[in-house]
Structure 1
């Protein structure tokens, strides 16, 4: 399928889903219009910002809102949940397929092609599907002291899904293998060296840096931003629906494998999704649940 036809196909999928959910707001994403051209999309679902059905509904509604606004030029995705940006997908209570399959990547692709700049403002932990969302945004900044990145799935016995289409584009083959199969936490300085984020910024100046960047972008001519982004997208590339689907389908198959089915109840009992300390130290906690089991939780 050629690229223009693919984009049309993706947009059609996204539009059909949005017709059902565009008026829905669950409160997971709180939108603040700092100015008409500068918006903040704050992730606010304590205690972990688990990516769940509420997130999908709010995210799709936000993409629809951004597409239909003629003034917005930059939107910053931040979090008001201490220690977390998006911790991971809610694996214990997964969203239905109609929210999390093709519709998800269709909307991510739609956002990547809008004539505005999206900024991931990360001052906490982001793993799995959360770090995949951050990777799909246009620009990523991380707090040197607080931001943590992890493609965590392999540590659970899962195959990463949409991240496998985008991660090698950003990091290159060897570093993508290290990150995905190592399934360990990566600090902001290393993430910046690897190209996972644009740069690591000292936390005491982080908010002012992001705000200054956003206000700077918001002051430029809208058409110039749009054309410049379109040219960069054309030359940099973005995962196609076929590339995304291959990873997604592999991830879905791994959900049914005995390795996950045997580990998940023990990991939940140990504190997954309920214990702050467990979630903060998840990359080390997963080491307790390797092998054939039974696991001591």
Structure 2
């Protein structure tokens, strides 16, 4: 599929989706959000894709925010619809994908950019990255899940401070906060992220999908994460991957998971 604002590539089980709007510091407009939905959907459906990496073109920005010119004159109803549609189409969609999604955060991840990175299953940052949710400086609040995911990742107090001050933190502070898992040099970011993706791919993709569902359930209102874990644990016993994994362990060999 051809995209206007993205580059999409798949090699050796890893799909890399790159937001490609360098003149706009990869800012998210409505068309880019639609394209990202389609790219993630296609990668998740591809049987040969085991891990998805999301990143931005260049070293300046992962995503520098949303394209403010698109919604500066919106009404109350239009603003609410913008957030609802965006969350459903992209941010919640990514968070609940059964294929692992890693955000390789290169440079600025602000506003909707940080919200996209937080929707990924975890994050790796280049040491020049800067992150923040500056929406209150524009008279609005984060609308793509930022007020919910940031406290889950860094704690309520730190999230309150970051959102209220509209300030940025650097990569090392993000690492200290637990917002990112690793910090590496910009030139090492993609290779390092691919290295972690390769470690993930050694394991059962079916079990990983169940683990994602169980972990996410613990953060959803009305869901009991322990109950979901029990259900997903039980489902694993009916999979070919479970049979292969346990048989390989008993045979003292490396498993060759069929992904079923």
Q: TM-score over 0.5 for the alignment?
A: yes
With the length of structure 1 as denominator, give the TM-score of the two structures.
0.66
The answer for the alignment partner of 2:155 in structure 1 is 172
CA distance in structure 1 between the partners assigned to 2:108 and 2:5 by the alignment: 17
The answer for the alignment partner of 1:87 in structure 2 is 64
> Where do 1:62-211 residues align within 5 Å?
62-94=39-71, 100-107=82-89, 108-144=91-127, 146-161=128-143, 162-211=145-194
Q: 1:26 to 1:39 in 2, by over 3 A?
A: closer
| 2:210 maps to 1:233 | no
More displaced stretch, 59-68 vs 181-190: 59-68
Measured against aligned partners, the alpha-carbon deviations of 1:180-234 in whole angstroms (never above 9, x if no partner) come to 0111121001011112222222335333211211122233222122122222222
Are the equivalent residues in 2 in contact too, given 1:43–1:81 (CA < 8 A)?
A: no
CA distance in structure 2 between the partners assigned to 1:86 and 1:72 by the alignment: 24
Q: 1:216 to 1:29 in 2, by over 3 A?
A: same
What is the count of residue pairs matched by the alignment?
214
Equivalent of 1:32, from 9, 13, 20? 9
Ranges of 4+ aligned residues in structure 1 off by more than 6 Å: none
CA distance in structure 1 between the partners assigned to 2:45 and 2:221 by the alignment: 24
Are the equivalent residues in 2 in contact too, given 1:85–1:130 (CA < 8 A)?
A: yes
Equivalent of 1:44, from 20, 24, 48? 20
Q: CA deviation at 1:117?
A: 0.6
Q: Which has the higher contact order (CA 8 A, sep 6+)?
A: 1
Q: CA deviation at 1:81?
A: 3.1
Are the equivalent residues in 1 in contact too, given 2:15–2:43 (CA < 8 A)?
A: no
SS at match of 1:101: helix
Q: 1:53 to 1:239 in 2, by over 3 A?
A: farther
Consecutive unaligned residues in structure 1, runs of 5 or more: 1-22, 241-297
Are the equivalent residues in 2 in contact too, given 1:49–1:81 (CA < 8 A)?
A: no
Equivalent of 1:56, from 33, 42, 63? 33
Consecutive unaligned residues in structure 2, runs of 5 or more: 223-260
CA RMSD between the two structures: 2.4
More displaced stretch, 43-52 vs 203-212: 203-212
